[in-house]
Amino acid sequence: MPLQEDYVFIDPIFGSNMWLRELIGLDPLRRGLRDRSGIGPIIFLVILFAAFLVTSMGALLVRSAIFRSLDVSDAYWSISGQRVQRAKVGELVSGHIVVHSWGRFDGDIVLRIRLDVKLWLDKDVATQRFHVTFRPGESREFTLSFRPSQASVGEIGGYFIEVDFGFIRGRWTMPSSYPPRLVVTV
């Protein structure tokens, strides 16, 4: 029985038994490169992996604070000028943050007060954008007031502050414990 023409060739390195190696699958990469039919998926996977690697490294750089020239040095709640850890539904509460600048900064920061919903997406309650200009070593306090509409029961954990410094500089979120997050009672 004659062999197929595709598998009969003499390789100077491996000798004339190359057709046998290909038949039993010992050299699929060489066959794929020769036929050019298997190279497309390989190139696609390499490009996909490279894109994933670049994206992951970018996110790591943003989160590692290399580009962060601003940081939150203090965050707290107040009612009528007094620091609190608890509030009642409908009471006027102010969220305070103190931002410290490590370098020059001219841009926007977004201050958000959010409702902590357990096992679900958190919800914005109040949002304000501030355009700021900082010199190195400068600190400034920002305040955002709101009236809590839901008590901290069941799936509602309470309220917390989040500060968005922009895409490159990242975001600061109040630690997930109570306190410093605000507990609201009826």
Confidence of residue 83 (pLDDT cuts 50, 70, 90): very high
CATH number of 70-185: 2.60.40.10
Question: At which residue do the structure tokens 């604070």 appear?
Answer: 65
How far is the CA of 156 from the CAs of 5, 88, 119, 160, 185, in angstroms? Answer: 72, 14, 10, 12, 11
Give me the mean pLDDT over the 162-184 stretch: 86
Q: What local confidence, expressed as pLDDT, does residue 182 receive?
A: 94
pTM (two decimals) = 0.63
Give me the mean pLDDT over the 153-158 stretch: 89
Please tell me which residue, 138 or 53, carries the higher pLDDT value: 138
Q: Where are the domains of the chain?
A: 5-63, 70-185
Q: What local confidence, expressed as pLDDT, does residue 93 receive?
A: 96
Q: What local confidence, expressed as pLDDT, does residue 165 receive?
A: 86
Q: Which residues of 90-112 are buried (b: 16+ CB within 10 A; e: fewer)?
A: eeebbbbbebebeeebeeebebb
Q: What is the CA radius of gyration of the chain?
A: 30
- Rounded Cα distance between 6 and 25, Å, is 14
Q: How large is the angle between the packed helices 39-63 and 28-35, nearest 10 degrees?
A: 110
Give me the mean pLDDT over the 146-154 stretch: 92
Render pLDDT for 30-69 as a digit per residue (tens, 0 to 9): 555 555 556 777 888 888 888 888 887 766 655 554 455 7
Q: Report residue 113 as tokens.
A: 């007060």
What letter represents residue 144's amino acid? L
What letter represents residue 148's amino acid? P
Q: What is the dihedral of CA 37, 42, 48, 50, to 10 degrees?
A: -140
Please tell me which residue, 15 or 124, carries the higher pLDDT value: 124
Compute the mean pLDDT over every residue in the chain, rounded to the nearest whole number. 80
How many CB atoms are closer than 10 A to CB 115?
19
Q: Quickly list DSSP for 98-162.
A: EEEESS-EEEEEEEEEEEEETTS--EEEEEEEEEEEE-TT-EEEEEEEE---S-S-TTEEEEEEE
- Rounded Cα distance between 72 and 142, Å, is 11
Q: What local confidence, expressed as pLDDT, does residue 15 receive?
A: 54
- Rounded Cα distance between 156 and 87, Å, is 14
Whether the predicted pLDDT of 168 surpasses 60: yes
